[in-house]
Amino acid sequence: MLFLEKTSPPPFWQPQLTDKQRLMYDKAFIGNRSQAYYLKRFAQFDKAGRLTPKWHWAGFLMTFPWLLYRKRFLDSIVYSVAGWSFIQLNV
Q: Is the pLDDT of residue 2 over 60?
A: no
pLDDT for residue 77 = 94
How is the chain split into domains, by residue range?
A: 19-48, 57-90
pLDDT for residue 5 = 59
Angle 9-52-18 (CA atoms, 0-180°, nearest 5)? 45
Instruction: Report CA dihedral (22, 26, 29, 31) to the nearest 10 degrees.
Output: -140
pTM (2 d.p.): 0.48
pLDDT for residue 1 = 46
Amino acid type, 63: T
Give the burial string for 2-14 (b: 16+ CB within 10 Å, else e): eeeeeeeeeeeee
pLDDT digits (tens, 9 = 90+) for 15-67: 777 888 888 888 888 888 889 988 998 888 778 777 777 788 888 899 999 99
